[in-house]
Structures are given as structure tokens and as C-alpha cells.
Amino acid sequence: MRPMSEPAIGPRNPTRAVRIGNTQVGGGHPVAVQSMTATKTQDVAATVAQVRQLEEAGADIVRIAVDSERDARALEPIRAATRVALSVDLQENYRLAAMVAPHVDKLRYNPGHLHHHETSRPILEKVSFLAETADRHGCALRIGVNCGSVDPAKKGMFGDDDVAEMVESAREHAEMLESLGFRRFVVSLKDSDPKKVIDANRRFAALRPDVPLHLGVTEAGLPPDGIVKTRVAFEQLLSRGIGDTIRVSLTVPNDRKKEEIAAGRKILDDIAAGRFRSVPVFENRSLNIISCPSCSRVENDAFVDLAEKVRDVTAYARDHAITIAVMGCRVNGPGETDDADLGLWCGPRTVNLKRGEETVGAYSYQEVLEVLRRELDALIAAKAAIALH
């Protein structure tokens, strides 16, 4: 298994540590990478093979779906043949936790789904059953809130603000578990829209900075678009210290599931190295230079060398809260430099320099650095003048 990556951008939220099998999540531990099997759980041989494949690819936690008692019975031989931390998605039948918990390290339940099974029972009674079962067998819990299955009691509570519904559901269940004396849990708030994922996790982290968060964009889709959507959400959250474990959800055949792990590791490595496709908003007050990962869309290999030179020639401004973005192609460059104070997006022969959304001009790779320096000096002077007033 590859060593876990540690994003080095800004301070991490002071979440408590939660043990999931042989993996620690939160509490300053490296960000853990997860995936989920796509095999039929009852096909023990196929599921074991996929769990092992994901572990060999670098997974720290592997999730398995359980929809029936036959699925639950398959977990004992699956556990016996695997070593990685196992999580189970209980879907709608929360009672299956009793059969599942002896053989796994974490149980995931959806607050919305608890309403659809044994509807006459109070929600607190169901959550209490899950907490007692998890505690008895040494399992962690994940409160998994999804946009498509929000607690129906929260529908319309906040008007059209469906993100608020998700956050409130997660907050309520976190407090419910703690009222029962159970603290070994993490929370996830997922949507297919990266913007809503960012919004929901930022809101929840502001309310409960102590609770570890599992990050993911649900239904992200086919690669490469699904990776890009997920990357944007992770960049915006991890750069703010939000997130303790991640999953990249991709629509791929079973034999390619390990691509989710590779994508997650790549995103973490890029964030640690300061390579971005979006423009994170950092909370610190220092120079922030970001650059996208090089890829087949780069039209001039000088882009990588330029990014390094930008870092060097702007080092004198390190104590100023300014973001400079260097993007390598015309696909991402024009739009994804808009949020930076100064942006450079690289074409085959020229570099387009921007001041926010305004284009300053197009310059050769050789002359753009001097123009950038002048723009940076002007920006520093303007910010100083504003501060004086």
C-alpha cells in the first residue's frame, strides 16, 4: 500500500480522531482514501478479489453494500480473506447492522433512509440501536447525508435552501449520537453538484469543527469529467483544512475500480504540491501561487517551467494575501483564473495575463514575467492604499 498523502495547504480543522480498523481518520492523521466495491456482495470470490485490488491500489478503507441477509452472511468469509478496513453501507434496512457489525470496521447509515423502514419506530430508537450495535462490536459509524435522500422531515424547512436541509440533518444526527454517549463517528454531506458539496461541508465544519468529514461528490460520472468535478470540490475544501477522508466516485467497469484510488491519491499529491485546477480561497494571509497539473491539453511544454519561474520572481511578495494562478491550457485557463488576483493561462505561443476577470494582454513566455512583476507591484500598492483609508 502506498503511504497516505498529507495536504500541506493551511491548518487542518481540529477534528477528533476516529479509528476505523487499522486506519485513523481525523485528529491530524493523513487524509485517508476510500473506494467501494461494485461486485455482487454475495459473490464472495469476486468481492474479495476487488477488495484486494483496491487495497493494492492504495485504499485505506473499502466500502461494501449490504441490501439483504444473504449479503450480510457473505461478509464473514469476505472479512476472513481481507485485511483492509471494511465499511458497510446499510442502505434502508438498518436492522442488518446486527449481522454485519461483527465482521466490519464501520457502518454507514443515511438519516433519510431510516424513515423508510419500520416507520412506526422513533428515529432516536433506530439510531440508538445502531450506536449500541457499533459500540458492542468496536465499529465506527458514518452519518451519510445525500442530496437525493434527505430526511423527509427536513424537506421545505429552509425554503429552497436544500444545502441547509443536509447540514441540519447531519447536525441533528451528530448530536443524537453524542446524546447516546457515542462519539466514534464521521459525517459526509454529498451532492452531485460540487458547489453544493463545498457549501454543505463548509457550513457543517463551521458548526462542528471537531467532527471528521468524509468528502465526495456523489454521481460524479465518467472520467475525466467526474475526476475534475471531484477535484474542484476537494481543492476548495482541503485547502481550508476541511476533510479527513475522501472518495472519488467514478462510473467505470469493475476491473477499473482502482482508478478511483489513483485519482484520489493524485488529487491529494497535487494539493500537497500546490497544483490546482480551481482557485481555492485560503484563509491565511500570504502569497498563494497555484498551478494546474500538466496534462495532454497543455499546448506548450514551457508552461511547467513558467510556473516555476512565477514562483521564483514573486517570492518577494510572500507576506501579501494575493493569489496568482498559472493554468496550462485554453480549456481551463480563461475561466479558472477569474477568481485569482492575477492569472496566467498559457497558449501555444503566448501567455494571457489577467487581473481578476480583466485581460491585461497576451505576451511571449519570455516577456510575461516582467509584466507580471509590474502588475504585482501595482496590486500591492493598491491594497496598501486601501488599508490606509
Give pLDDT, residue 328: 82
Domain end, chosen from 221, 244, 273, is at 273
Mean pLDDT of 196-200: 96
Host domain of residue 141: 18-273
Query: What is the per-residue pLDDT across 151-165, written as a single tens digit (0 to 9) for each?
Result: 778 888 888 899 999
The CATH code of the domain that includes 87 is: 3.20.20.20
The answer to whether residues 362 and 224 belong to one domain is: no
- Residue 2 domain flag: no
- Residue 168 domain flag: yes
Lowest mean pLDDT among 153-157, 184-188, 210-214, 245-249: 153-157
- Residue 9 domain flag: no
The answer to whether residues 323 and 216 belong to one domain is: no
Lowest mean pLDDT among 23-37, 164-178, 255-269, 273-287: 273-287
The answer to whether residues 90 and 204 belong to one domain is: yes
Lowest mean pLDDT among 120-134, 199-213, 323-337: 323-337
- Residue 13 domain flag: no
Query: What is the per-residue pLDDT across 34-62, written as a single tens digit (0 to 9) for each?
Result: 999 988 899 999 999 999 999 999 999 99
The answer to whether residues 298 and 172 belong to one domain is: no
- Residue 282 domain flag: no
Dihedral pair phi/psi, residue 286, rounded to 5°: -140, 170
The answer to whether residues 135 and 215 belong to one domain is: yes
Query: What is the per-residue pLDDT across 365-381, written as a single tens digit (0 to 9) for each?
Result: 999 999 999 999 999 99
Give pLDDT, residue 353: 96
- Residue 127 domain flag: yes
The answer to whether residues 301 and 338 belong to one domain is: yes
Query: Model confidence at 295, in pLDDT bands (50, 70, 90)?
Result: low
The answer to whether residues 132 and 230 belong to one domain is: yes
Give pLDDT, residue 211: 98
Give pLDDT, residue 327: 84
Distance CA 303, CA 349 (A): 10
The answer to whether residues 23 and 82 belong to one domain is: yes
Mean pLDDT rounded to a whole number for the chain: 89
Domain end, chosen from 273, 298, 333, is at 273
Model confidence at 284: pLDDT above 60: no
Lowest mean pLDDT among 56-70, 193-207, 262-276, 284-298: 284-298
Mean pLDDT of 283-291: 72
The answer to whether residues 267 and 342 belong to one domain is: no
Model confidence at 175: pLDDT above 80: yes
The answer to whether residues 245 and 380 belong to one domain is: no
Model confidence at 291: pLDDT above 90: no
Model confidence at 85: pLDDT above 50: yes
The answer to whether residues 64 and 133 belong to one domain is: yes
Comparing 113 with 17, the larger pLDDT belongs to 17
The CATH code of the domain that includes 304 is: 3.30.413.10
- Residue 310 domain flag: yes
Mean pLDDT of 237-245: 95
- Residue 320 domain flag: yes
Q: Which of 117, 51, 42, 54 has the alpha carbon at shortest distance from 81?
A: 51
Give pLDDT, residue 2: 42
Report the domain count for the chain: 2
The answer to whether residues 233 and 360 belong to one domain is: no
Model confidence at 281: pLDDT above 90: no
Domain end, chosen from 273, 298, 329, is at 273
Mean pLDDT of 53-77: 95
Query: Model confidence at 4, in pLDDT bands (50, 70, 90)?
Result: very low
Mean pLDDT of 212-229: 86
